[in-house]
Structure 1
Amino acid sequence: MFTVDQDGYIAALTGYFARQRPQATGIAITDLNIPVATGFSNETVLFTVSWTEDGEAHQDRLVGRLEPSDGPMFPPQGPGLASSCHLQHRVMSVVAEQGAAPLPPLLGYEEDLEPLGRPFFAMGFVDGEVPADNPRYTQSGFLVESSTPAERRRLVESGLEAMAGIHRIDWRAAGLDWLDPSGIGEPTQADQLRIWRGYAERELRYRDHPVLAQALDWLEANDPGDDRIGLSWGDSRIGNVIWQDHRAAAVLDWEACALVPTEADLGWWLMFDRMSFDDMGAPRMDGYPTREEMIAFYEAASGKEVRQPHYWEVFGAMRFCAIFVRLGDRWVAAGLMPDEANPAIPNMVTASLAALLGIENPTPSIL
C-alpha cells in the first residue's frame, strides 16, 4: 500500500524516545512493525525500545501514531485542530486526567517528527483481543468461535460502561473549550451538521450523492435540539477497544472526537451493530445483547435517557457515508482499484443510510 523506509523510522523513533527520556542511554529500536492495513487513518507503528537508565536495563513495547501524509480522515472541528495526532493526544490526555475510561499510557506529542516530517505520538502497548472488521467479528473470530454467552454480554456492557464514563466528563470543567466548534462556548448539533455538510461538499468535488444530500437535509429538519452536550468519543464501536477477559482494557481511535449531544456516540455504536449483524445477514450470537438491551444498559450506566436513537443512528450513518467518499478516493489514488470502480458513492454504507431513511438509493453498492 505504501513504501516504508525502516531506517528513517528507526532514526525518528530513536530520537523521539531520547527526547521523552533524557536520562536514557543506549537506546535501541527493534521489532518494528508497520501494519499494511494502515495509511487511511493514522499510520500505526509498533516497536520495542530498549535502553539503560541509572545503570539498569529497560525494555518496553510501544505503539506510535503518525499523521497520514494526505491529512486526516475526519473533518477538523475548528481552527488549529487539523492535525489528527495532536487532536487525539490532547483529548486522550484529558480523558486520562479525568479517569473516565481505560486508556493506554501516553508519551509525548511532537509536531514534526524528523526525519519523517509528520506529527506523532506514542503510547504503551496494551495486550488483548480486538474484534476484526475484515472478516467482520460477527462472522468469525473469538466472539463467534470461543466466547461464551456470558462473555459476549460482559464485553458489550463493558464497552457501554466505558462510553458512559466518557460522557460523564464535564467538558467545561475539564478544559475542553478548545474543542468547541461554535467559538462562543455553546456547541450544538447544528455546528456538527455545518461541519459535516462542508466536509461532504469538499470531498465530493461537485459529484452527485443523492442519499447523502437527503440525509443532511433530513438531519437539519429533524434536529432534536438536545442540549446535553458532552465529549463524544466519535468512533464508538467494539473494534476500537482492546479487550482483556471480555472487559474494556483500552479505548482507542479518538480522531473523530467532538463536543456534541452524547447520544451521538450511542447512535454510531448502534449503526455499526446494525451494519455488522443485519446488513451482513449475520445471526446475533447467544448472549450478545439486542439493540434494545444495549439502549437500556447505556441508560442505566450513564443516567441519561435515550431520546432519539433513530436520529442519532442516521447521523452516524451520514458521517460514515461522507467518510466513505474520502476513503474510496484514497483507494483509487493508492492504486487499489480503478477509477471506474471507485466505491466513494456506490457502497454498502450508502445503501444502509438509504434504508434507515426509507428512501430510494440510485447508487447500488459495487462492493
Structure 2
Amino acid sequence: MTVTDEDQYLNRLVDEDALRSYLGETLGEAESVSVLRHDEGHSNETLFIEWDDREYVLRRPPAGETADTAHDVLREYRTIDALQETSVPVPETVLACEDESVIGSEFYVMGREAGDVLRDTEPERFATPDHRTAIGEELVDALASIHSVDYEAVGLGDFGRPAGFTERQVDRWQQQLEWAFEVTEAEREVPELDRVGEWLQENVPADHAHTLVHGDYKLDNVLFEPGVPPRLGAIFDWELSTLGDPLTDLGWMLLFWHDPSDPAPPMPELMSTVMAQEGYPTRDELVARYERQTGVEFENRRFYQVLAAYKMAGLGEMFFRRYLEGNSADPLYPKMEKGVPLLAEQTVALIEGERNL
C-alpha cells in the first residue's frame, strides 16, 4: 500500500477535525493533536492519539461491512471498564461514544500503556530462560484471573448466556464462515472446513463451567511492563469477550503457542514461533499451570484446540472477504487465500491424531 492509500484509509476511519472537537469536551482543548493508525492489529482498528503530552488509544471497527457483531467496540469498552477495580490487568478507560456521526462509527478511548507486546521477537531484557519461563507463567496466571472474576459483582451478569455457549460457538463460527464464503468461494474453496465443522458438532462437550471469557486471549494481546522480571501489565482486544466456557480461551491461547516440535505455522504473520526458544514453557506445561491455578481440569482438550483452529479459519476467511471487497488496508488479509486452507489441513490432521496437541 502506498502512503497515499494509507492516508485515504485513515480518512475513512476518522475525521480528525470532528474527533478533535469531540474529545476536547472531555479531555480539554489541546494545542497539538496527532492521530496515527496502528498497523499491527488485524480486526478492530487501533489509532494512537497524541493530545499535547498525553497519549491515548482509540478503538473502532474496520471500514466497510462486517459480519454481525464481530466488531462491537462498545462491548469491548464495557468489559474493560467493568474490570478497572479487579485483579485483571486492563488499560484505564477514558470514554465511549455511541454517536456514529463523529467519526463514522462507534468508538472508545483508553489510556496508552507503556511496555512491550511480544510477537516475532522478544525484548533483550527477557532473553534468558528464567525470564522466558516467567512470560508463560504470567500469561497463564492472567488468564486464570479473568476466569476467576465474579462477573455478577462487577456488573456483567447480563453480559452473555453462558449455558450452551460452546455449542453456540460452533454454530456461530460456521455462520461466520458461510458469510465469508459468499465472496471468497469465487477465488477458491476450502472443503476441509466442512469436515472440521461436522466433527465439532459431533464432539461438543455437553456441559462446561460459566465464567467471563476474553475470546481472543494470546501472547500478542497482552503487554509486559518495562523492566525485569517480566510483569504482565495489560490485556487488550476484548471485542469477543462474553460469559461462556473458560476452556475456549485456553484452547485459543494454545493455538498461538509454538512448541519446538511443531510444523511451520500456516499463518506465520499471526502465529509466532518465538516461544520455541529455550526456557519458554511447552503447551503441556501451560496447561498444567492453568489447572493448578484454577483447579479446573482441561477435559476434551482435542475438541477445544480444534475449535480454536476453526475459529481462526473463520476469522481468516472474513479477513479475506474484506480484502476482496476493498474494505481493509491490512496487508495480512490477502495472505489468507493460502493461509486458511493450510490451517484447515493442519486441523484435519489434529482431528485424526496426526499432530500433537
Is TM (by shorter chain) over 0.5? yes
Cα displacement (A) at 1:225? 1.9
Q: Which residue of 2 aligns with 1:363?
A: none
Q: How does 1:288-303 map to 2 (within 5 A)?
A: 288-303=280-295
Question: Are 1:254 and 2:238 matched, yes or no?
Answer: yes
Does the CA contact (< 8 Å) of 2:144 and 2:293 recur in 1? yes
Q: What amino acid is the match of 1:258?
A: T
Does the CA contact (< 8 Å) of 2:316 and 2:340 recur in 1? no
Cα displacement (A) at 1:236? 0.9
Q: Which residue of 2 aligns with 1:85?
A: 73
For 1:48 and 1:346, the matched residues in 2 are separated by 37
Q: Which residue of 2 aligns with 1:200?
A: 177
For 2:335 and 2:224, the matched residues in 1 are separated by 36
User: Would you say how many aligned residue pairs link Structure 1 and Structure 2?
Assistant: 330
Cα 1:146–1:168 change in 2 (3 A) is closer
Does the CA contact (< 8 Å) of 1:192 and 1:260 recur in 2? no
Does the CA contact (< 8 Å) of 1:63 and 1:122 recur in 2? yes
Cα displacement (A) at 1:240? 0.4
Q: Which residue of 1 aligns with 2:11?
A: 5
Cα displacement (A) at 1:279? 3.0
Which residue of 169, 174, 196 maps to 1:215?
Answer: 196
Q: Which residue of 1 aligns with 2:114?
A: 127
Which residue of 157, 160, 174 maps to 2:137?
Answer: 157
Q: Which residue of 2 aligns with 1:365?
A: none
Q: Which residue of 2 aligns with 1:227?
A: 208
Does the CA contact (< 8 Å) of 1:14 and 1:28 recur in 2? no
Does the CA contact (< 8 Å) of 2:140 and 2:289 recur in 1? yes
Q: Larger relative contact order (C-alpha < 8 A, sep ≥ 6)?
A: 2
Which residue of 248, 255, 272 maps to 1:271?
Answer: 255
Deviations 1:204-255 (A, max 9, x none): 1284532222112111211122320211111111100111242211100111
Cα displacement (A) at 1:298? 0.8
Does the CA contact (< 8 Å) of 2:117 and 2:222 recur in 1? yes
Secondary structure of 2:211's aligned partner:
strand
Q: Which has the higher strand share?
A: 1
For 2:167 and 2:318, the matched residues in 1 are separated by 22
Cα 1:265–1:325 change in 2 (3 A) is same
Q: What amino acid is the match of 1:358?
A: E
Cα 1:359–1:227 change in 2 (3 A) is closer
Q: TM-score, normalising length from structure 2? A: 0.82
Cα 1:72–1:41 change in 2 (3 A) is farther
For 2:149 and 2:297, the matched residues in 1 are separated by 17
Cα 1:215–1:286 change in 2 (3 A) is same
Does the CA contact (< 8 Å) of 1:33 and 1:45 recur in 2? yes
Cα displacement (A) at 1:143? 5.8
For 1:49 and 1:332, the matched residues in 2 are separated by 35
Deviations 1:176-214 (A, max 9, x none): 344325xxx734312222222222222212845322221
Q: Which residue of 2 aligns with 1:240?
A: 221
Secondary structure of 2:257's aligned partner:
helix
For 1:48 and 1:66, the matched residues in 2 are separated by 17
**Unpaired runs of 5+ in structure 1?**
51-58, 77-81, 361-367
Cα 1:41–1:34 change in 2 (3 A) is same
For 1:317 and 1:276, the matched residues in 2 are separated by 19
Cα displacement (A) at 1:344? 6.7
Which residue of 45, 48, 51 maps to 1:46?
Answer: 48
For 2:81 and 2:256, the matched residues in 1 are separated by 27
Q: What amino acid is the match of 1:247?
A: R
Deviations 1:305-326 (A, max 9, x none): 2212221111100100111111
Cα 1:344–1:203 change in 2 (3 A) is farther
For 1:285 and 1:345, the matched residues in 2 are separated by 24
Identity of aligned residues (%): 25
For 1:125 and 1:162, the matched residues in 2 are separated by 19
Does the CA contact (< 8 Å) of 1:42 and 1:65 recur in 2? yes
Q: How does 1:101-140 map to 2 (within 5 A)?
A: 101-132=88-119, 137=120
Cα 1:7–1:170 change in 2 (3 A) is closer
Which residue of 19, 23, 36 maps to 2:25?
Answer: 19
For 2:90 and 2:98, the matched residues in 1 are separated by 22
Does the CA contact (< 8 Å) of 2:211 and 2:243 recur in 1? yes
Deviations 1:3-61 (A, max 9, x none): 1339964323322322324xx3x4234343213455x41111112113xxxxxxxx311
**Unpaired runs of 5+ in structure 2?**
266-272
Q: What amino acid is the match of 1:259?
A: L
Q: Which residue of 2 aligns with 1:357?
A: 351
Secondary structure of 1:180's aligned partner:
coil
Cα 1:157–1:48 change in 2 (3 A) is same
Cα 1:345–1:130 change in 2 (3 A) is closer
Question: Are 1:69 and 2:63 matched, yes or no?
Answer: yes
Q: What amino acid is the match of 1:291?
A: R
Secondary structure of 2:75's aligned partner:
helix
Cα displacement (A) at 1:330? 2.2
Secondary structure of 1:28's aligned partner:
coil
